[in-house]
Amino acid sequence: MTEKDNSPFTFTPKSLNDLLSLLRKRKEAQLYAGGTYILSRQTEKYLNLPHEIIYLGRIDDLKRVHRTERYLEIGSCVPIGRILQIGKRLLPASLYLCLSAIGSPGLRNLATIGGNLCVREMRMDSFPVLHLMDVRLELRRQGSARWLSVSRFLKSDGKPAIEPGEVLTRIRVPLENWDIQIYRKLGGTYYSNTNSLTFCGLARIQKDIVSDFRCAFSRIGISIYRNREIEAEVNGCKIPLQGKENQLITQKFSESLQEYDSSLTRFQKNRMLYLFQWFLSQLKIE
């Protein structure tokens, strides 16, 4: 048998029950889904892996996709490439754009949406989109399950609010109609991370009035920036926004950025401001 002294112990449960039972016994084991984050930034032939690994790739229960009229339920270990195969017409546009911007096509056939959400350095891709869409997450442990809004998924230190013995199993995306869906990703999770940025904007327009306006930013280490006061300012406005109205809202947004994070560089603030202004300019009669 060929094994080095530091070869990991790998467990490969075949069912969700096996996994939950294993999680209770092997508290220190690292969960491994697509592995794209664990393997990133390693260049050696032999990978430097945690001592104990629980490989999730064989659990069919975590790889199901289920669609109803109201929502789309995605297993946490569904590869992103497979989610994209559902198609542009069935996936919400902002989610499709977000997932299409993650890695290369080959990597997307390995990376999972659960991993993208749970790993802090990767979270800037999908978290703002899922946050704005009021996505709910299922967390299961042996003997119990709970659903949690994605807005409550992170603790104040940025770590996922997953209790010992729990695992993220499903992601429920509401299928709602949005008149405008925008997603932009600048830079990436692998680049010098202080300047990477993602932006997501959603809006509903009814009779030329903005009825629901949402926007959020994310960058590495800062999972979400979303200002509901600014969103409330835009809600109820007639489109297209008038010059003074636009200016006032933009100014309030700019001031809020100052208060939000004093470590933001001028470059980052300007980018966030331009993206916000651009989103406002998209609120127009078709």
Name the site residues for other proteins (rule: CB under 8 A): 1-4, 7-8, 10, 12, 32, 35-36, 39-49, 53, 55, 57-58, 79, 81, 85, 100, 103-107, 109-110, 190
Considering beta carbons, is residue 81 or 92 the nearer one to other proteins? 81
Residue with tokens 């996994």: 19
Considering beta carbons, is residue 58 or 238 the nearer one to other proteins? 58
Counted residue by residue, the chain has a size of 286
A 10 A CB-CB count for 214 gives 20
Residue 77: CB minimum distance to other proteins, A: 12
Residue 75: CB minimum distance to other proteins, A: 16
Considering beta carbons, is residue 40 or 277 the nearer one to other proteins? 40
Residue 33: CB minimum distance to other proteins, A: 10
Record the tokens describing residue 219, joined without a space.
Answer: 């960058």
* Residue 238 identity (one-letter amino acid): K
- In angstroms, the first-to-last Cα distance of the chain is 67
Considering beta carbons, is residue 87 or 164 the nearer one to other proteins? 87
Burial level of 132, CB count in 10 A (0-12/13-18/19+)? buried
Phi-psi region of 191 (alpha: psi -120 to 50; beta: other; left: phi over 0): beta
Considering beta carbons, is residue 87 or 243 the nearer one to other proteins? 87
Considering beta carbons, is residue 105 or 236 the nearer one to other proteins? 105
Residue 32: CB minimum distance to other proteins, A: 8
Residue 63: CB minimum distance to other proteins, A: 12
User: Angle at CA 106, nearest 5°, toward 104 and 110?
Assistant: 105
A 10 A CB-CB count for 114 gives 25
Torsion, CA 91, CA 97, CA 99, CA 103, rounded to 10: 150
Residue 11: CB minimum distance to other proteins, A: 10
